[in-house]
Structure 1
């Protein structure tokens, strides 16, 4: 047995087949890291779902404020309300898109390209 017969996991120190990569990790550590990442992605997706609900509530509130507006439609107050509605709509579209992409990525895990 020569000095190139075995390597050690950089994370837990377990012995494994030789590799020149000094930072290589074993299968068990790779899986643990993957599971941590999957958990973080799931938490991020839950946060985005709550954010979408909040944006939808803001959208409903802004729509109601616009419909019940009794001042001058050329005023800065109404213009600000319309701009807030546009910004909210853009945020809502972006958040839904990111959530959709995250779902597609999660659903596609394990598939070969």
Structure 2
């Protein structure tokens, strides 16, 4: 899986968090992305779909799925966890490295 993409059914699609994706998420759910808590699978799938919609629109790629359910029907748990780790856990790593470095200095 490449950076800012998701692999679904062994096919890669552009899928990154954009301002358009956050706006789409707000319109669909009534919630801000920053309000997401825990592991609500429905909200996570909706967020991924919003990222897919926005990224495909921005990149001029035809949207491969008609809605969240259509996308989810083609996804495996591995597709979901791969996108999550690429987009969220990788961002936490630099923060953890900074903490470790400041402990070494202090």
Q: Rg bigger for which structure?
A: 1
| Higher RCO (Cα < 8 Å, 6 or more apart) | 2
Place the TM-score, normalised by the shorter chain, in its bin: 0.3 to 0.5
